[in-house]
Amino acid sequence: MNNLALTRQNFNDWMVPVFAPANFILVRGQGSQVWDQDDKQYIDFAGGIAVNALGHAHPVAVQALTEQATQLWHIGNGYTNEPVLHLAKQLVENTFADKVFFCNSGAEANEAALKLARKVGLLSGHANKNQIVAFKNAFHGRTLFTVTAGGQPKYSQDFAPLPEGIQHTAFNDLEQAKAVINENTCAVIVEPIQGEGGVLPADIEFLKGLRQLCDEHGAVLIFDEVQTGVGRTGSLYAYMNTGVTPDILTTAKALGGGFPIGAMITTNQYANMYAVGDHGTTYGGNPLACAVANAVFEFINTPEVLEGVQQRFDYFVTGLNKINAKFNVFEQIRGQGLLLGCVLKAEHAGQAKNIVTLAAEQGLLALVAGPNVVRFTPSLIIPFEDIDEGLSRFEQALEKFSQELKECA
């Protein structure tokens, strides 16, 4: 079956309906540009949801994958391999961590972190130290455990009974956190920036307060950096700009640059509480995935790339503010690095998806972060000319949006 024989209807015919993709099929990409079956070109501000850190088909990633594909594909966890050890070494040498657990996604990394937190509580000697504190509007994945930890009932309410022992409190509200974190708390899990929850950065004082509360009550502090990690915010990991070091960190998305991989990293103090057989995964540490991730990580972890992320942030914000001055539809442009959120004004609540659809019609791929935020997570090295062209197309989409509003008035 060639590409032209496949249609968007085939998705509805054959796929479990848990996704609602756009009405076109993408077939190839290069850098920050992609093309559909009709050879229509799009500027990619979505980046596979903060995954394609180097864009599409970057030579460094292609070479790493091609070379590894001629050697060793998969061996399972009864053996180890060189790419996984190289990648573990990179993560340990460039973060606070001593040990790494590899998996295939952010949800799996968070699952490993939360299970470890429960083990920490069990070994503490306190019989009831099993409570996990998470935050409203958070997102940590879609396994039953992680979707329960996420503070968005729309993702979990149809799957009761849910795992117990998870409490949700208000994000960026330290006083409310103080009210629920106590001697029965084994872990606090937080995103440095709530991505799916609206691109909402955590206040540094809030994170410092959580660190202090965890220290006071013997709880582990988990940073979910699945979306913010590997250069996305302009530092290798977002925690590095906060003055707060977590006990456990989860990373995925950009780590593989488009190849599925995730990791949980932690210190010896906590890693050694896991024993052989406590946790595992068939594909974790796959040589192909780790070879690509090694190449991507090395490429990103340079002053040139990380400083370039901040330069692009400034460039984006300037351009977006100029566009918004014309249409006045956004209340705020927020985020860090190349995790950007355009927050709609109250009178346009619920229209983010509509704007993303209009953007695609103009040849721009973008995302939502809830019903009221348009989100951009492009390649960390997106060329400035592609930013210009993408913003021009975004402006055209907002022109159409404004016309629709006038017609409905």
Residues 162 and 230 in one domain: yes
Neighbours of 125 (CB within 10 A): 8
Q: Mean pLDDT over all residues of the chain?
A: 96
> Which residues, listed in sequence order, are joined to residue 252 by a DSSP beta bridge?
none
Residues 278 and 321 in one domain: no
Type of residue numbered 231: G
Give the length of the chain.
409
Asked whether 189 and 149 are in contact (CB, 8 A), the reply is: yes
Q: What is the residue range of 259's domain?
A: 72-300
CATH of the domain at 92: 3.40.640.10
Residues 241 and 189 in one domain: yes
Asked whether 186 and 124 are in contact (CB, 8 A), the reply is: yes
Of 300, 330, 364, which residue constitutes the final position of a domain? 300
Predicted pLDDT at 140: 96
pLDDT above 50 (res 278): yes
Domain count, the chain: 2
Residues 397 and 284 in one domain: no
CATH of the domain at 28: 3.90.1150.10
Residues 336 and 296 in one domain: no
146-160, 182-196, 235-249, 307-321: the lowest-pLDDT one = 146-160
Residues 147 and 17 in one domain: no
What is the pTM (predicted TM-score) of this model? 0.95
Predicted pLDDT at 319: 98
Phi, psi for residue 393 in degrees, rounded to 5: -70, -35
pLDDT above 70 (res 4): no
Neighbours of 396 (CB within 10 A): 16
Residues 82 and 20 in one domain: no
Predicted pLDDT at 1: 45
Q: Which residues contact 189 (CB under 8 A, 6 or more apart)?
A: 110, 113, 114, 117, 132, 133, 134, 138, 140, 149, 222, 224
pLDDT above 80 (res 408): no
Classify the phi-psi angles of 218: left when phi > 0, otherwise alpha if psi is within -120 to 50, otherwise beta. left
